[in-house]
Amino acid sequence: MNDETQTILSKSFKISLDEAAHLILSFLREPRLGDLAFSAAIGGTVLKSAIKKEAGMIYNGSMAWYCRNLVGPGYLPELFLAFEDGSYEVAKVPRAPTSEKLIYTGRPFTYKREITMSEVLDMLKHDEIPLVADLEINKADVMNCINRLPSDDFGDPYNKFPCSFFENRGVVNRDMDDFLSNGALKAVRYYFGYDTSYSHTKSNRIRVIFVGVDQDGRNIVGADNQTMVTSRLVQNSWPPPPPPYTEQID
């Protein structure tokens, strides 16, 4: 394993509130993605059990599949994530879910504010969205929805890979355990962000941000310094790393 790969492996999933807001703002400012945020979804909410199904079991992490419903069943939303418990090898990105049934929300939410940093921060701090029951989706329906995210003005896909994996590496990295251990956390809200740093341009520029949610549907972001990295927000999921360290597998 070379030094660059080791550096990526050791990177924390935790981010600050400011970092989360900047990623969401970048998504909104990218025209083709911003259109989706207003018309389809900027995020969604699933219950804690969708991210980690069984307490006490060895938890490898949560796999989220980017789904865009363009031709599928009308009961599915246009843009959403489908979740399963999963595992991940750094150099091998799966092409398809392993589970026959995955979890998703039938009520993703759109962005309804001005496209400014202050408005995005206000959304993260103050929006209250009531919790609803999760839904199941068949693997076949997920397969009909993946690899349908838009491409940029140069024809390059925003995401090279159809999934995002939040790994839990035990003694090496317990960021997901720390995130889920908050006693007030009843659900997880995800937001879409956008990252143009080099490691993402060759991989997935559309990012997934996790925020804990309490029983009243409010984000658990706290009153801490918003530039401070916190276990209440996680983002740096796989992939990247970019090629040549990453390839897809069947």
Rounded mean pLDDT, 165-178: 72
Q: Determine the distance from the C-alpha atom of residue 178 to the mean position of all C-alpha atoms in its chain, rounded to a whole number.
A: 17
pLDDT of residue 1: 44
* Average of per-residue pLDDT across 33-51: 96
Cα 227-232-236 angle, rounded to 5 deg: 80
Residue 186 pLDDT: 96
pLDDT score at 77? 96
CB 186 within 8 Å of CB 50: no
Q: What CA–CA distance (Å, rounded) separates 174 from 140?
A: 32
The per-residue b/e assignment along 143-177, b for 16 or more CB within 10 angstroms, e otherwise, is: bbbbbbbeeeeeeeebbbbbbbbbbbeeeebebbe
Q: Please tell me the pTM assigned to this model.
A: 0.90
CB 48 within 8 Å of CB 180 = yes
Average pLDDT taken over every residue of the chain: 86
Identify the residue with better confidence: 98 or 197.
98
Report helix, strand or coil for 149: coil
Lowest-confidence region among 13-22, 25-34, 84-93, 136-145: 84-93
Most confident of 4-18, 97-111, 215-229, 234-248: 97-111
| CB contact set of 17 (below 8 Å; sequence gap of 6+) | 121, 124, 125, 221, 224, 226, 227, 230, 233
How does residue 143 score in pLDDT terms, banded at 50, 70 and 90? very high
pLDDT category, 53, cuts 50, 70, 90? low
Band (5; pLDDT cuts 50, 70, 90): low
Statement: residue 8 has pLDDT above 80: no
Stronger pLDDT, 167 or 249, i.e. the higher one: 167
